[in-house]
Structure 1
Amino acid sequence: MGIAPDRAVINHLVEGDGTLRADDLAHAVAVASEANPGARLVLRDKRWVDSGKAPEVRALTAESFDRKRLDSPALRIGLTDPTCEVLLVLGDPTTVVFRAAHAVMDGRGLLMWASDVFRVLRGEQPLGADSPLNNDDLLRRVCTPDDPPPRAEDPAMEFPSPLGPRPHPAAGPLWRRRSVDGTHPAASAKVTAALVAAYGPGRYFVPVDLRRHAPDVRSTASLSHPLHLSVGADDGWEEVQHKMLTAMADREELANRANPGIMDLPLPVLRAGIAELDDNAARTDTHTGRAYVSHLGAVSLDDFSTDGFHATSLYTLGGVNPGSPPEINLVEMAGRTEITVAWYDGPEVAARAEALLDVAQEALSPRERREWVGNRTERALPSAHSVVRLFRQQVERTPERIALSGPEGEVSYAELSRRADAVAGALRRHGVGRGAVVGLLAGRSVAAVAAVWGVLRAGACYLPLDVRHPDLRLSELLTDAGSTFCLVERPYDVRDCVPEGCRALLLDDLVEAEPDGGVDAEIGCGDLAYIIYTSGSTGRPKGVQVEHGNLANYVHWATRVFEVDEGIRLPLLTSPSFDVSGTSVFLPLLAGGQVILMREDPNHLSLRRLLEFSGANALNLTPSHLDLIGRLDIAPKGFRTVIVIGEQLRVEVAARAQEMFGPECRIVNEYGPTEATIGCTAHTFDPVADGDGAVVPIGVPADNTTVHLLDAQGRFVAPGEVGEMYLGGAQLARGYLGRPDLNRERFPVLADGTRVYRTGDLARVLPSGALEFIGRVDDQVKVRGHRVEPAEVAQVLEGHPAVDRAVVVAKSRPGQSGKALYGYVLANREVAEEELEQHLAERLPGYMVPAATMVLSQLPYTVSGKVDVRALPDPLGDQPRAQADPAGPVNDPVQDAVARIWAEILGVPPSRLHALADFHRLGGDSVSLLAMLAALGREVLTPDAEAALMARLPEILREPTLERVTALVRQAGSELAA
């Protein structure tokens, strides 16, 4: 056990992002070693004694550590006196190496010491492991007469190494490493069974931590003993696992204890005997077993992190004992398993070590799961230029062609470019350039489109703001983004939404100014193009940073897949703050096509006018708006593409749209979170192939984009199984602005080094090869195409002085395909729902305000202490009942017609539709309200009366009761009759 402490050294390597100072590390090592005296042991007269001296911390340069070969002169140094040390390798990544002679520490003990070092670095107290028990002491304490007797060492060494003969005389160490995605039950058994299949049956060793027999003992000593497993050629991993568990249940590792008398031999004699054992193994290529398969267990990388250093991986470079076979070490952490091989260096050994790691990796993560054919998306871009340069080139080619049309008239490419240059020049005069974030508060207007191009030409990135959002919300976003300028369009310049430190510039004046003749900024792929905020589960919205390289890849892919050319006329229907607006702005203008601006929000009347009279031949919209269009009694002509994104597309909605737009029009279902730049998969609806399903597939990945399906343990799922989507590739955003912790959580790195975005969306690969969206792994919900985190809404509710606790949940709406938000609060005083709604409306976008909010006396909880969502009362079940109105008519055909349409749209029984029934409290949202009004226009009103009713839309929104809507319908008809 401690006879030749220089022969086997254990190395734990902690890699991470950030920096560590050598002085700070040395202090932490000293404090942690005081609490873990096993790190200070030296050999004196065949006894280990505490030297009282902390292990040394040595700083190495990146050049002195070969990360590919896992080699450094510092790692080849044996440890005799002292027996422990720490290496700090500067570079990327920063690496801390904890080294200990196996004679004084085992892998678990080294972890105890290392984690205490990081506790001290975080300003915490070390847990300590100061038990003086060594291996012999522990065995005497835990062994009983019923335990297996000491095993007589088998002198026969019958097994060749799977890595080939060890060079002779003694050679230096060789290590190789492989990272595998996910954590894997019975990993040791699976790897062992795979080795048997590849290299043959025989004896395999599995070290077992003796601390399991004395859980009260905290010691860093070398307290691991190997199990001897005889594995047959036909043993699968289940049989290996059964043998391992059975042996542990029988405490067989206790039998592998050394003869105590060996310590009485003179040290030179011991060294000579060990050398002879080692030489014989090298000479004959026979060893006591096939391999050691050591599993260190699961570690938390948070335990090896500080405020300035975040651990990204931990792995072990083991040492090989005399006469022993190669050592295979496994360590698991969140979403990752690290596998390393330790052996002696020599000809072809490195290649054989990599082959062995291939075997181990395949056992845990089969290639057929890792390498989906759908991810073969490599495609060279047709141009390396940024969208700024591409737009400038398009203007030069077609200066007189119409770029924009709409209520403001037609604007040519040359005129749009002139206005963009005017904005860019003004920004340059204000010192705005690369790296700056410029807010943009404007509607769907010519000035807004010019502002986008102007900001980009100045080299800055734009932050689109929704004019419908409350002032407080807009101010918070501008502050969080660090915007020093905000371009504001009339009439929004009178709003109090620009915070201190940010200057408002009137956009209307800028676009009419004369350009300064300046040249466009040089744009790199890594420069920011825009920042868009999405809802945050922590209660704070998140600013997604999209780079020019991300945007360029999307533009080229989408232009090809959506068949965009100079003939396209695509309306801009969505708010500029919704990232799908990028499809409508960038694609047509970079292809020589036309953008049709729609100033008013989409409703059934404006959409009907758009489809029939605007000249549009393509659409880009959400499934909710497509569903609304499908309810209109029209037959649009000349449309060639309808792009649908933002929510799950139901087959019935797609089929109805296909029938409406005709067989020549492609209905394309696009999927993509903001973090992957607008859209990253697409599927063209096929009424025959997709008709039997409930939802339309989301297709295959975009060019240079990948989709990986992983389970809850981070493992690749088998073909056809459901997994969470992790997106990778050229469209992956830079990350969240100023949120490093969230970036690490949502933008992890796969084992092969691929940076991905963890979507929270579930999908599977269909037999056709297309992806099918299944649902969510969390509480996030889509409302009108926007992502909403209920936790953010709940936090805003709790900001009301009357609210002590708030819970917001997403519930299915009666008769609707999507979900709506509902709030529940515990209040410290009487508070009306209207007051809470006003509080939310002043701080959140309209789509984030719950359809109803209830004040409860208490919240229901499950036995685990979580809010029992299923036990929350129905927020729609307490509608007030109307009193009979003696002055009103007994039979009201108008109200009956309105009620019938409500029942159809909301999917509620007519019995619930009394005079005071509230459309929103019954589960209706803005889109279903528009569908209801469209049905009224189609079935109850004349076209002129329908227009008159829509003019009263603000009144309907303020009081959407059956009684009030009926009265307005009646008024609309009577006003025209008068």
Structure 2
Amino acid sequence: MRLPVTEAFVRQAARTPHAVAVVTDGGRLTYGELLEAARALATRLDGPRRTPVAVCLERTPLLVVAILGTLLAGRPYLPLDPAYPDQRLRHMLADSGATVVLCDRTTAATVPALTEAVPAARLLCLGEDQPYATAATTGTVPAPVGDDDLAYILYTSGSTGRPKGVAMAHGPLARLVDWHLTNDGPQHGRVTAQFAPVSFDVSFQEIFSTLSAGGTLVLVPEDVRRDPDRLLDLLIENRVNRLFLPAAALHQLAQRGLRAAVRPPLGDIICAGEQLQVTDAVAAWLRSLPGIRLHNHYGPTETHVVTAHVLDGDPDSWPALPPIGTPLPHVRTWILDPEGRPVADGEQGELHLGGACLAEGYLGRPDLTAERFTTSDDGTRRYRTGDLVRQLPDGALEYLGRGDRQVKIRGHRVEAGEVELALSAHRDVAGCCVVTRPDQAGQLQLVAYVVPEPGSAEYGAPEPMTLRFAPKWHRHLSERLPEFMVPAVYVTVDRLPLTPSGKVDRDELPAPSTARPPLPVPMVPPAPGTQQRIAEVWQETLQLDEVGIDDNFFDLGGNSLLLTLLHTRLTETELPGPGGRPLTLVTLFEHPTIRALAAHLDRAASGSDRERPAGRRVRRERPVRRASAAAARDSGA
């Protein structure tokens, strides 16, 4: 029997109150304790049932309590990532009409957008050292929710430059969780890692397919998410059976698992958010995990998961690009041509979705809702995905790419038009175009082509100039967009090539140069020995002809994914050993130049390493870049 996720959790807590529900590095909560805390919070969240409660918390038990308490109160939750720019958070709070913000002392003190939201929204600060909500557990909790009541609002990139809130009701989510419970087998005693950011819809699957069935949810700290070695340790230590993660993260995890001969007790790995690639490393590592199943899930934010495909047996027999699978029982699919007519069997067309999976629409955007959620002649409501697919002979769907300019960057949906609008607002930008190109790790990255404004420092260059890091443009965009929407490379051009119809001809844009970009530090070549060996790996990873020993890795276009690739390659290179200890990702973050890293390794090898750089509080991605010399010296924002 299909139940709302809140009722499914309450029933499970009544059956197994002493079973462990949530585990963190700081402790654990039983089902009974989690229910008590969520109920206590729910009594304090009275308000209109359609008005969202904003949740701005790091990945701790408070996050799970906040989501459950909000849903038990009959209200939708609005996740706010503390790492998002304040301008974007302010827009989300104002646009959603949230009247309550759940936070803790840390986020209340470090995220200005929260305090700026007062008095339109009141802050409710939850604390780890006291009851999760300082109220008795008695009190009236609203009646159980119905299918049409909203569960959450997730904001996605918008082509108009204005992020849009997808309003998802309980009905489709209850059907999705019910499908999990029917197909995944018994979950009691099984352990699932909570890996996805709560602003990503996969987090709902992780949390509620686990807590509705008696499983244990292990919260993955943010720093562990980005470190494959530490993630492997967490999987083994907590005996994790099930893991949701993007394809790029799976590839990195497989590389580290192979190298360290680490075999966690995984039974199921679920990939979503971007096209799944079964790389050689993935196949080889999963071959060593007995009974492993690899799941490929597909679904836009406007529907959540709608198709699924399972790979089992010998990984060597799996296709490199698996299909996205067949529709879930409550989902209908159509493959249509540009005129809205069904294509012939096996032909390419745009995927349209229907059935009991559709979101209500975009919050406060009836025009955009009507554009993407259409109604057919027979009255059937459909969502136009913009994704191109074809049906294979066995009925599974094969993903063929996008029919528009929307892309996926590390699992996040990005409208290139939103990035262009934000970049074009800078005073030194006369025109721009944003495209995607693969980086050295094989993952798509954003590349911005900029026509500089006359009088700017970049204006008048005789040839296209590639800037792996442009401090003023990077800072401008970082104040407006999430990190994953900030381009990794900027190429200045005197004009944008056009097609005969006047559109930007993206095929004619020059490829980024492999020359070392202009930096505020002089070019100092590496010395023979440790510096030279590190430099060679940097050049291979960053696809640059040369690098200087005082260049910052992040100023050269590095990011966390490339740093992981760098880490892998350095561990395969003959370098001085740090006293028998492995070279860690943390070491690379703390020593972002060749000179600093080589000196650290040489000191460690000689046993004289007494230095440790002072710790620096950072916010998620590109921590070194934000503090780099280039950013510090730039004053042209």
Which band: TM-score by shorter chain? 0.7 to 0.9
Secondary structure at 1:456's aligned position in 2?
helix
Q: Is the 8 A contact 2:497 2:504 kept in 1?
A: yes
Structure 1 residue 535 corresponds to structure 2 residue 157: yes
Report the Cα offset of residue 897 of structure 1: 4.5
1:803 is aligned, of 425, 429, 435, to 429
Q: Deviations over 1:164-219 (max 9, x none)?
A: xxxxxxxxxxxxxxxxxxxxxxxxxxxxxxxxxxxxxxxxxxxxxxxxxxxxxxxx
Which residue pairs with 1:673 in the alignment? 300
Structure 1 residue 927 corresponds to structure 2 residue 561: yes
Q: Deviations over 1:421-462 (max 9, x none)?
A: 12111223xxx2411211100111100000000001111100
Q: Is the 8 A contact 2:154 2:199 kept in 1?
A: yes
Q: Deviations over 1:933-953 (max 9, x none)?
A: 244346557687777753355
Give the direction of change, closer, same or farther, for the CA distance of 1:723–1:420 in structure 2 (3 Å limit). same
Which residue pairs with 2:392 in the alignment? 766
The residue type equivalent to 1:766 in the other structure is L
1:607 is aligned, of 228, 231, 254, to 231
Secondary structure at 1:631's aligned position in 2?
helix
2:511 is aligned, of 864, 874, 891, to 874
For 1:515 and 1:929, how far apart are their aligned partners in 2? 48
Q: Is the 8 A contact 2:577 2:604 kept in 1?
A: no
1:397 is aligned, of 4, 8, 15, to 15
Structure 1 residue 408 corresponds to structure 2 residue 35: no
Matches within 5 A, 1:858-869: 858-869=495-506
For 1:821 and 1:945, how far apart are their aligned partners in 2? 40
The residue type equivalent to 1:951 in the other structure is V
Give the direction of change, closer, same or farther, for the CA distance of 1:695–1:920 in structure 2 (3 Å limit). farther
The residue type equivalent to 2:275 in the other structure is Q
Report the Cα offset of residue 661 of structure 1: 5.1
For 1:955 and 1:689, how far apart are their aligned partners in 2? 38
Which residue pairs with 1:582 in the alignment? 204
Secondary structure at 2:217's aligned position in 1?
strand
Q: Is the 8 A contact 2:537 2:569 kept in 1?
A: no
For 2:582 and 2:433, how far apart are their aligned partners in 1? 40
Q: Is the 8 A contact 2:292 2:312 kept in 1?
A: no
Report the Cα offset of residue 900 of structure 1: 3.2
The residue type equivalent to 1:443 in the other structure is E
Q: Is the 8 A contact 1:948 1:972 kept in 2?
A: no
Give the direction of change, closer, same or farther, for the CA distance of 1:485–1:788 in structure 2 (3 Å limit). same
Structure 1 residue 597 corresponds to structure 2 residue 215: no
Give the direction of change, closer, same or farther, for the CA distance of 1:435–1:947 in structure 2 (3 Å limit). farther
For 1:528 and 1:587, how far apart are their aligned partners in 2? 18
Which residue pairs with 2:278 in the alignment? 651
Matches within 5 A, 1:431-442: 432-442=47-57
Report the Cα offset of residue 665 of structure 1: 1.0
Q: Is the 8 A contact 1:879 1:917 kept in 2?
A: no
The residue type equivalent to 1:936 in the other structure is L
Structure 1 residue 950 corresponds to structure 2 residue 571: no
Give the direction of change, closer, same or farther, for the CA distance of 1:943–1:546 in structure 2 (3 Å limit). farther
Which residue pairs with 1:515 in the alignment? 136
Secondary structure at 1:628's aligned position in 2?
helix
Matches within 5 A, 1:9-408: 382-383=1-2, 385-408=3-26
Give the direction of change, closer, same or farther, for the CA distance of 1:685–1:977 in structure 2 (3 Å limit). same
Give the direction of change, closer, same or farther, for the CA distance of 1:425–1:969 in structure 2 (3 Å limit). farther
Which residue pairs with 2:58 in the alignment? 443
The residue type equivalent to 1:676 in the other structure is T
Q: Is the 8 A contact 1:440 1:488 kept in 2?
A: yes
2:352 is aligned, of 717, 723, 726, to 726
For 2:245 and 2:337, how far apart are their aligned partners in 1? 31
Q: Deviations over 1:679-719 (max 9, x none)?
A: 11111124669847430111111121122111122111111
Give the direction of change, closer, same or farther, for the CA distance of 1:962–1:660 in structure 2 (3 Å limit). farther
CA RMSD of aligned residues (A): 2.8
Report the Cα offset of residue 831 of structure 1: 5.1
Give the direction of change, closer, same or farther, for the CA distance of 1:708–1:871 in structure 2 (3 Å limit). same
For 1:592 and 1:944, how far apart are their aligned partners in 2? 45
Q: Is the 8 A contact 1:658 1:665 kept in 2?
A: no
1:471 is aligned, of 70, 83, 86, to 86
2:125 is aligned, of 503, 506, 527, to 506
Secondary structure at 2:448's aligned position in 1?
strand
For 2:278 and 2:31, how far apart are their aligned partners in 1? 39
TM-score normalised by the chain length of structure 1: 0.56
Give the direction of change, closer, same or farther, for the CA distance of 1:945–1:837 in structure 2 (3 Å limit). farther
1:569 is aligned, of 191, 198, 201, to 191
Report the Cα offset of residue 918 of structure 1: 6.6
The residue type equivalent to 2:384 in the other structure is R
Give the direction of change, closer, same or farther, for the CA distance of 1:946–1:869 in structure 2 (3 Å limit). farther
The residue type equivalent to 2:240 in the other structure is A
Report the Cα offset of residue 655 of structure 1: 4.5
Q: Deviations over 1:736-789 (max 9, x none)?
A: 111111111111122332211111111111122211111111111111100011
Q: Point out where structure 2 has 5 or more consecutive residues left out of the alignment.
A: 459-469, 611-637
1:480 is aligned, of 79, 86, 95, to 95
Q: Deviations over 1:874-927 (max 9, x none)?
A: 3343424897758x63x1245414533762x55x4x745565777567765422
For 1:605 and 1:442, how far apart are their aligned partners in 2? 25
Q: Is the 8 A contact 1:708 1:726 kept in 2?
A: yes
2:570 is aligned, of 917, 920, 936, to 936
The residue type equivalent to 1:596 in the other structure is V
Report the Cα offset of residue 735 of structure 1: 0.6
Report the Cα offset of residue 571 of structure 1: 0.8
The residue type equivalent to 1:413 in the other structure is Y
For 1:795 and 1:945, how far apart are their aligned partners in 2? 50
Secondary structure at 1:475's aligned position in 2?
helix
Which residue pairs with 2:67 in the alignment? 452
For 1:715 and 1:558, how far apart are their aligned partners in 2? 33
1:854 is aligned, of 477, 480, 491, to 491
Give the direction of change, closer, same or farther, for the CA distance of 1:817–1:950 in structure 2 (3 Å limit). closer
Give the direction of change, closer, same or farther, for the CA distance of 1:818–1:946 in structure 2 (3 Å limit). farther
Q: Deviations over 1:109-165 (max 9, x none)?
A: xxxxxxxxxxxxxxxxxxxxxxxxxxxxxxxxxxxxxxxxxxxxxxxxxxxxxxxxx
Secondary structure at 1:608's aligned position in 2?
helix
Give the direction of change, closer, same or farther, for the CA distance of 1:966–1:771 in structure 2 (3 Å limit). farther
The residue type equivalent to 2:82 in the other structure is V
Give the direction of change, closer, same or farther, for the CA distance of 1:804–1:969 in structure 2 (3 Å limit). farther
Q: Is the 8 A contact 1:571 1:618 kept in 2?
A: yes
Report the Cα offset of residue 873 of structure 1: 3.1
Q: Is the 8 A contact 1:748 1:758 kept in 2?
A: yes
Q: Is the 8 A contact 1:666 1:685 kept in 2?
A: yes
For 2:236 and 2:108, how far apart are their aligned partners in 1? 34
1:423 is aligned, of 41, 58, 62, to 41
The residue type equivalent to 1:675 in the other structure is E
Q: Point out where structure 1 has 5 or more consecutive residues left out of the alignment.
A: 1-381
Q: Is the 8 A contact 1:420 1:453 kept in 2?
A: yes
Q: Deviations over 1:634-654 (max 9, x none)?
A: 332321101111111112268
The residue type equivalent to 1:597 in the other structure is L
Q: Which moved more, 1:535-544 or 1:911-920?
A: 911-920
The residue type equivalent to 2:536 in the other structure is A
Which residue pairs with 1:737 in the alignment? 363
